[in-house]
């Protein structure tokens, strides 16, 4: 189970990295010019979550799926809203915060920290299961 988790996390990190690069570029170049690109990035986050839903469910770690899915849905919703009105400073803050969370996830997976913390949780669950059985 632990090695499967390491592999899945690596695949997620590899898929998340180009999304984050594109998201940062859209923010830096000005959201007004990049709303369609941001909408597409929201779709990519949703697809990423859907792609890894079943493997992460098997590994009993669905919170990552929900986090990525929520980010994608939030981006899509905000873009839809922005197409009906002008861009405000708070909107840039919103997209920047989404980017920072996704970048943090990517970086902690890449560094191994994410896996290490999940392994600790997994070991604790196993230990608790052993104690309740005896």
Domain boundaries, position 40:
2-133
**15-41 pLDDT, tens digit each:** 999 999 999 999 999 887 789 999 999
**62-112 pLDDT, tens digit each:** 999 999 999 999 999 999 999 999 889 899 999 999 999 999 999 999 999
d(CA 29, CA 34): 8
Q: What pLDDT, on a 0 to 100 scale, did the predictor assign at position 8? A: 93
How would you label 36-72 residue by residue, b for 16+ Cβ within 10 Å and e otherwise?
Answer: ebbbbbbebbbebbeebbebbeebebbebbeebbebb
H or E element that contains 127: helix 113-133
Whether the predicted model's global pTM rises above the 0.85 cut: yes
How many domains is the chain partitioned into structurally? Answer: 1
Please state, as a whole number, how many other Cβ atoms lie within 10 Å of the Cβ of residue 9.
Answer: 23
């Amino acid at each position: 189970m632990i090695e499967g988790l390491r592999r899945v996390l690596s695949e997620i990190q590899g898929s998340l990295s180009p999304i984050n690069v594109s998201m940062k570029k859209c923010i830096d170049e000005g959201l007004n010019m990049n709303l369609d690109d941001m909408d597409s990035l929201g779709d990519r986050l949703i697809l990423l979550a859907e792609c890894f839903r079943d493997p992460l469910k098997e590994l009993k770690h669905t919170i990552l799926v929900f986090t990525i899915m929520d980010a994608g849905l939030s981006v899509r919703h905000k873009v839809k809203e922005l197409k009906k009105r002008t861009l405000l400073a708070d909107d840039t803050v919103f997209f920047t915060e989404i980017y920072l969370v996704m970048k943090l996830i990517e970086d902690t997976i890449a560094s191994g920290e994410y896996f290490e913390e999940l392994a600790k949780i997994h070991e604790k669950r196993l230990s608790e299961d052993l104690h309740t059985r005896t």
